[in-house]
Amino acid sequence: MTFAALDAFAPGTGAAGPDPAPGPGSSDPRAPLGLLDLFGDSFVRDPYPWLDLLRTEAPVHHDPATGLWLVSRHEDIRRVLLDPDRFLPDNAQHAVTALPVAALRILARAGFSLPPALADNGTPSHSGLRRVVTRFFNAQRVAAAVPVIERIADELLDAVRSQVDSAGGCDLFTSFAQVLPCRVLMELLGIQGVDPATLIRWSDASLELFWGRPSLERQRELAQRVGDFHQWLTATVRAGTAPSGSFIAALARHRLPDGRPLDVGTAVTVCFFVFIAGQSTTGQLIATVLRRASAEPGMWVRVAEEAGLAEAWAEEVLRREPPVTTWRRVTARETRLGGVRLPAGAPLLLMLMGSGSDPEVFAEPDRMCPHRANVRHHLAFGAGRHRCPGASLARTEAAVALRAAARGLPDLRPAAATAETPMLGLLSFRAPLSVDVVADVRNPRQH
């Protein structure tokens, strides 16, 4: 993934406009689409009625609050993803909310600049950079990484068990789901000189700053963390001391199509987004997988015992409730999509989450059905030239995490809700921010 250069974050370039009127509750799916608020509590907590309404009433819908064209049918989204010449990736990483001058100054002092490299790169350099990334996340490397994932998972779950034994419960998001992919990524890519908590804090700040709707004061706070992240990455890349087999060393050896070595700025950009995708979005996936499995009657016991069920459950979660909920494109020229004429330069928001519930593709889409025959037709990882290169690792980590948790903590059940679970609700990212569980001492292994 990559952002545009810093000048793309100038005031006025963010897509989000004034706050629209509050949307209705999710119990009223007939509500007019003019009330849709992509950042509102109604949409973040239960987006499915809205997504169904979009798909049936206006599959290519202009959202006046953001200026984006919302594309919600599986067929249309797939067409866009597979035609990067007509639907350009150039806006994939633009800031959603315009950054104030104060935040821009903080980023400028940190030397923050992210030229196109991966997800927003439509130039000839994209394929070579993508090959560098995919070498570290191909099927062979992921298979070899399973013992690493299992070892780290067991270490974290030992601490979780101690916490459950002493306190009667814990939050599996902060203690396990969030930390596991960060530590795995650090080992696989040879990341040194920083602790996992710092990397997680930097990564989460980057997502919120560029994909959220934070207040002005919050933007300044986030900009400082993002600037620190960028400075650390730049110093690490420039040092030239990375181990020869590491990811950063592979970027240093890479040559662009014209034979020139990869510049430091582009190498930093690649690292910036590989680190974010490899830890934050994978952690969000694991959190959702754990939350849905712990709440499904009998599933916690079954995934511990049935071969392949953890993988099948993770895949169904990717279809129904992926952590990356939307992605952006922009039209290269006037075109028609879903029966709607779009002008050149029209910004599109592809509703990836909604496409996984399209009844034209998936029977009974609202039902969780492990081993669904066509589940891999979902678009949670995109499709085509810009499909997520870390898909195999994310799938594997989610399945290993679920199986390890179910085996290591067989007597857990969801905590009785005292309030609604807090949700991450960014333009392109959605996941529970806590997975609270307690020891089921009355009836272990039966929830």
Confirm whether 415 is domain-assigned. Answer: yes
Residue 305 tokens read as 């015992």
* Residue 22: inside a domain: no
The CATH number given to whatever domain includes residue 124 is: 1.10.630.10
Residue 263 within any structural domain of the chain:
yes
User: Where do we find the tokens 């494109």?
Assistant: 329
Distance CA 184, CA 206 (A): 20
Give CA torsion, residues 255, 261, 264, 269, to 10 deg.
-20
Per-residue pLDDT tens, the chain, 447 aa: give them: 333 333 334 333 444 333 333 333 334 444 578 889 999 999 999 999 999 999 999 999 999 999 999 999 999 999 999 999 999 999 998 999 999 999 999 999 999 998 988 989 999 999 999 999 999 899 999 999 999 999 999 999 999 999 999 999 999 999 999 999 999 999 888 888 899 999 999 999 999 999 999 999 999 999 999 999 999 999 999 988 888 888 888 998 999 898 999 999 999 999 999 999 899 999 999 999 999 999 999 999 999 999 999 999 999 999 999 999 999 999 999 999 999 999 999 999 999 999 999 999 999 999 999 999 999 999 999 999 999 999 999 999 999 999 999 999 999 888 876 567 899 999 999 999 999 999 876 554 444
What crossing angle do the helices spanning 391-408 and 309-320 adopt, rounded to 10°? 120
Q: Are 423 and 175 in contact (CB under 8 A)?
A: no
- Would the CA dihedral through 256, 258, 261, 262 be positive or negative? negative
SS3 content of the chain, % helix, strand, coil (to 5): 50, 10, 40
Structural domain span for residue 229: 6-11+35-439
* 399, part of any domain: yes
Q: How far apart are CA 5 and CA 38, in angstroms?
A: 25
In angstroms, the CA 63 to CA 350 distance is 12
Counted domains in the chain: 1
- State the DSSP H helix or E strand holding residue 226, giving kind and residue range, or none if neither: helix 216-239
Prediction pTM value: 0.90
Residue 1 domain-assigned (yes or no) = no
The two beta strands, 436-439 and 169-171, are: antiparallel
Whether residue 30 is contained in a domain is answered as no
CA 169/CA 163 separation, integer angstroms: 7
Residue 245, classified by CB atoms within 10 Å of its CB into exposed (0-12), middle (13-18) or buried (19+), is exposed
Strand order in the sheet with 412-414: 169-171, 436-439, 412-414
Does residue 25 lie within any of the structural domains? no
Q: How far apart are CA 70 and CA 91, in angstroms?
A: 14
423 within a domain of the structure (yes/no): yes
